[in-house]
Amino acid sequence: MAHPFQFLLWTFYPYLMLGSFFFGTIIRFAFFHPTVTAKSSEILEKKTLMIGSILFHVGIIGVFFGHIAGIFIPKAWTDALGISNEMYHMFALGAGGVFGIMATVGVYVLCFRRYHNHRVFHASSIGDLVIITALTIEITLGMSSSFIAGPMNPSFNYRTSLAIWVRQLFMFHPDFRLMLNVPLLYKCHVVFGLMIFGAFPYTRLVHALALPWQYIFRRFIVYRKKPQI
């Protein structure tokens, strides 16, 4: 085969990481459910945490749904609606840029706090330090892909290559050749992102899947003021 490494990287590696994500998550929730939590360091330092956490979480949620739309809405659909490629990318960069900047500033604030604040640093586990560093690198790669690699490669359209490859992953027949001419920063973003997915169940990130559904269905708690005697 002409590209054995590329074949393994874009055919087997994604399934290895996604398999780790799905099976690791099931095992974590089934057998280690009490550990599905994120230790709060708010008691050690609150002001910077609130700024970074709000920016990061709002930004990353917007970026996540932007990725979902960009990958799973085929170009043919937007073409059929009369949305030109230029209009689509202007909207994607505009909306994605806002959420991307929020996520970037937020993760940099959290990363700086985690390493710079001595109390927070010494209370952090190795996993805490690794995951905040990994998220910082991944978000930096994503922003660099959109605002550096994209403009430097005007002929590249991720919707006709990378997005199709991702959709093919879920149909279990990915064509690795679609990734051969993808700019390097995009490739690094994908590889590093898959690595984070693979490590997801074994880190504090897994708490993102532990939604507190019980608060929706529980009875209202009634607070009564103690009468003055």
- 47-77 pLDDT, tens per residue? 999 999 999 999 999 999 999 988 998 888 8
Domain ranges of the chain: 4-217
116 is in an annotated binding site: no
What is the model's pTM? 0.84
User: Would you say 132 and 157 are in contact if contact means Cβ atoms under 8 Å apart?
Assistant: no
118 is in an annotated binding site: no
The Cβ of residue 72 has, within 10 Å, a number of other Cβ atoms equal to 12
3 is in an annotated binding site: no
189 is in an annotated binding site: yes
CATH 1.20.950.20 fits 4-217, yes or no: yes
Of 42 and 52, more confident? 52
- 166-205 pLDDT, tens per residue? 999 999 999 999 999 999 999 999 999 999 999 999 988 8
Instruction: Return the pLDDT at 30.
Output: 86
Instruction: Return the pLDDT at 229.
Output: 60
Extract the tokens encoding 181: 């001419």
